[in-house]
Structure 1
Amino acid sequence: MDLGRGISIIDAMDLGKERRTGCYVLHAEELTIVETCASPSIPFLLEGFKRLGIDPKEIKNIIVTHIHLDHAGGVGLLLESCPNAKVIVHPRGMRHLADPSKLILGARAVYGEKFDELFDPILPVPDNRLVVKEDGDTLQIGENRILTFIDTPGHAKHHFSIHDSMSNGIFTGDTIGVFYPQLFVKGLELYLPSTSPNQFDPNAMLDSLEKIKALDVERIYFGHYGMTTNPSHVYEQIYKWLPIFMETGEKVWKEKQDDSIETKSEGLFQELFVKVSSFLTEKEFTLDQEMTEIIKLDLSVGSMGIIDYLAKKQTK
């Protein structure tokens, strides 16, 4: 899909679902993409490049906002088709792309027996093809196109967002939430915070939101999924939902203080799903099966992250 201002999005068909995770193509002198999704998505990206008339050998920069596998798990595999590309990554993420063993262990702990289906294979990225960008660093990819990298923790410590000068837009990965275009086409904008384990920090997330807000961008490009030209509404919803998520998490933690982490996470998931469902009902929206599955997945993984954060907080 052409998003205008020299940017296209390719649907990576993450989890076998449309409009779940996207790869952005920046059409510039230095052809650049943002996000690769997981390895099972790479055939869809290659088909997308073909439809755009792009030879993968032309790609110069592959940027990953952070190293979670649904955003960067396929980068090693994609590099096999992109011999002239460098991979640009947050300083905290570089070593994990070079040696993904810890990423694999962490993802197996979360996804269990579904891991291979969702993520395999995860290939290391050679050191000589990795480029680190620090907070405030820039990359000029065209005569009138400069990318600026901004450290934006909260969802993860290894997360940056990328401001694009030509579109005055920002690629935010998961820092300021998930966008549900399936609802948007039906007239409802919903943005929920992405609180997955194991580096979620609500205070850092709000600080990063403030950084992004201060840039006065016109567009936000989400990892999940697509673009909005209504940034103020995004900020409003994260300000609304993040406290609800945290207050509900603290309530569940207190009520189930003697239960296991797994039981606490499941209890929080159930309560958050009721709250989000009630919100949608108030807006006269009924979730179909696909959207129910997507939102349940997000809230389930997000509940694990909130409980993990509260558990760490207890030990401090």
Structure 2
Amino acid sequence: MNFLRENRLEDLGYGIRLIDGYDLNVPDRTGIYVLEEEELTLVETSTSQSVSYILKGLEELGRSPEEIRNIIVTHIHLDHAGGVGLLLKHCPRARVIVHPRGARHLADPSRLIRGARAVYGSSFDDLFDPVLPVPEDRILVKGEGETLAIGSERTLTFMDTPGHAAHHLSIFDPVSNGVFTGDTVGIRYPQVEKWGLNLYLPSTSPNQFDPELMRSSIERLRSTGAERIYFGHFGMAVGAKEVYNRVLQELSRFLRDGEEAIEGGEGAKGIEWRLKERYHQYLSDHGIPGDHPVFETLDLDCRVSAMGIEHYLTKQRMNS
């Protein structure tokens, strides 16, 4: 495997390390969390392109993939779980923990592949290939309220948190008083924090986005009292209450943009334009240079989120 970029490993405290998976070949995009416990545990894998970074990160920690016992995927979208089949080839003792609705798609990822090809088109192979099946005897299903002890003082609790996807788990960690939220609480953009900005946006990608379920899941996470959020995209935020409030506020704006565009017959392109216009202006007003790489990432997120908003609103109109 070729290491195209410098490996990045961050100590987040409480026995949690963050490996940058360089999803989409950019930094600060998709994170893999390593919980250094008696049962060495990973949360997320990102894509198969990220596996080399995971292996290198473990090496820097003085750990081997043979030690991994648990690989938890918050949901089965390929930017979170696409690399799990390939990673398993290096982890003979590991099992994969997934939401009940996601297990069959790990065993047979053909439908996931078709869906991702529809979104990413000709870029699919470079970004995601290969997507390998997970043997059924290595899949462990966990649902709402179930637990997993990975150390004598660390028992994780799983929560069913739909909204972004119907097959979404979040995980409460009592040691850090934190939650691993995948995409339920959206996306954190750490690239802009050196300008004093904290930007958190919902992730409303197709085709299972449901704003009411997303709001309910965020309130469910709020009820844990967790102080820290470990985002799938990307890294840790302290001060969960403020994050929840910001994401809920932006979710309402996303929907208003969607309704305006649909009313005007503009479809997903109109929604995408409105989202880009707002957040480009916001970043520019705060001094972010126009050639900063965050704009490219933001544009992709706006495009994919617009597709999910259009799908949801169109479905609502058909059912009304």
Query: Do they fold alike, i.e. is TM over 0.5?
Result: yes
Counterpart of 1:274? 277
Contact 2:95 2:139 in 1 (8 A): yes
Q: Does 1:306 align with 2:309?
A: yes
Structure 1's 54 and 287: CA in aligned 2 closer, same or farther, altered over 3 A?
A: farther
1:285 to partner: Cα distance: 3.6
Secondary structure of the 1:185 match is helix
User: Partners in 2 of 1:105 and 1:54 — Cα distance?
Assistant: 35
List gaps (5 residues or longer) in structure 2.
1-9
Partner of 1:83: 92
For 2:290 and 2:222, locate their aligned partners in 1 and report how far apart those are by CA, in whole Å: 30
1:59 is aligned to 68
Q: CA deviation at 1:283?
A: 3.5
* C-alpha distance in structure 1 between counterparts of 2:213 and 2:172, whole Å: 19
Cα deviation code 1:181-239 (max 9, x no counterpart) = 11123321100000000100000000000000111101100000000112122112112
Aligned to 1:106: 115
Question: Which residue is equivalent to 2:182?
Answer: 173
SS of aligned partner of 1:66: coil
* Contact 2:195–2:286 under 8 Å retained in 1: no
SS of the residue aligned with 1:57? helix
Q: Given the superposition, is the C-alpha separation of residues 287 and 48 from structure 1 closer, same or farther in structure 2, using an over 3 Å criterion? A: farther
After TM superposition, where is structure 1 displaced by more than 4 Å over at least 4 residues in a row?
none
- Deviation, structure 1 residue 288: 3.4
* Equivalent in the alignment of 1:13: 22
TM, length-normalised to structure 2: 0.95
Q: CA deviation at 1:275?
A: 1.0
Tell me by how many angstroms 1:264 deviates. Answer: 1.2
Taking only the aligned residue pairs, the percentage that are identical comes to: 54
**SS at 2:293's partner residue?**
helix
Pair 1:194 & 2:197 matched:
no
Secondary structure at the counterpart of residue 289 of structure 1: coil
Structure 1 counterpart SS, 2:12: strand
Tell me whether 1:213 sits opposite 2:205 in the alignment: no
Residue 212 of structure 2 corresponds to: 203
Alpha-carbon contact 2:284-2:290 (below 8 Å) kept: no
The aligned residue for residue 299 of structure 2 is 296
Query: Cα RMSD between the aligned structures?
Result: 1.0
Give the unaligned 5+ runs of structure 1: 257-262
Work out the CA distance in 1 between the residues paired with 2:36 and 2:291. 36
Aligned length: 310
Return the alpha-carbon distance in structure 2 between the equivalents of residues 61 and 51 of structure 1.
19
Going from structure 1 to structure 2, the CA distance change for 1:155 and 1:287 (only over 3 Å counts) comes to: farther
Superposition map of 1:29-178 within 5 A: 29-178=38-187
CA distance in 2, matches of 1:152, 1:233: 19
Instruction: Specify the alignment match of 2:3 in structure 1.
Output: none
Supply the distance in 1 between the matched residues of 2:312 and 2:289 (Cα, whole angstroms): 31
Instruction: Give 1:250 deviation, angstroms.
Output: 0.6
**Tell me, what secondary structure is at the counterpart of 1:53?**
coil
Which amino acid in 1 is paired with 2:100?
P
Determine if contact 2:162/2:168 at 8 Å carries over to the other structure: yes
Moved more, 285-294 or 25-34: 285-294
Shift of 1:147: 0.3
- 3-state SS of paired residue (2:317): helix
Deviations 1:69-89 (A, max 9, x none): 000000000000000000000
Tell me the CA shift for residue 31 of structure 1. Answer: 0.5
Q: Post-superposition shift, 1:287? A: 4.5
Cα distance in 2 for residues equivalent to 1:156 and 1:287? 32
- Code of the aligned partner of 1:230: G
- Aligned-partner SS, 1:45: helix
CA contact (8 A) 2:47 2:81 kept: yes
The CA distance in 1 between the partners of 2:105 and 2:98, in whole Å, is 10
Return the alpha-carbon distance in structure 1 between the equivalents of residues 160 and 248 of structure 2: 20
**SS in structure 1 opposite 2:157?**
strand
